[in-house]
Amino acid sequence: MVDRRFAADAEAHRRDAPRFCPRCGGGLGGAGIVTEFWEADDRRFYCWCGGCGWAGEVTPSGPGVVGHEPEH
C-alpha cells in the first residue's frame, strides 16, 4: 500500500525544489546543495550554490527567496 501523503510530498518536492541559483542562475543540482526542511507549517529549501557561493532559503509557499548575506 502506497502512503499517499508521502507520495504527495515527493511530488511536491520535485515540483517546488529550486533548480537554479537565484543569484547567478547556475544549476543547483550539480555543485550546489538543496536541502528541504520544515519550519512550523512552511516547507523551505535551504540552498547553497557551488558556482557563486550564494546561500539562502527558498520558501515556495511564502515570500520566496531569502538570501543569507555575510555579516559586514
- Regarding 56 and contact with Zn ion (CB under 5 A), the answer is no
Measured between alpha carbons, how far is 32 from 23 in angstroms, rounded to an integer? 13
Closest contact distance (angstroms) between CB of 52 and Zn ion is 3
Number of amino acids touching Zn ion (CB under 5 A): 8
Contact 56, 24 (CB under 8 A): no
| For Zn ion, the closer CB: 24 or 33 | 24
Residues 6+ apart with CB under 8 A from 20: 26, 27, 28
Our measurement of the distance from residue 37's CA atom to the centroid of its chain's CA atoms, rounded to an integer in Å, reads 9
Among 8, 10, 33, 52, binds Zn ion (CB under 5 A): 52
- Regarding 49 and contact with Zn ion (CB under 5 A), the answer is yes
| For Zn ion, the closer CB: 12 or 65 | 65
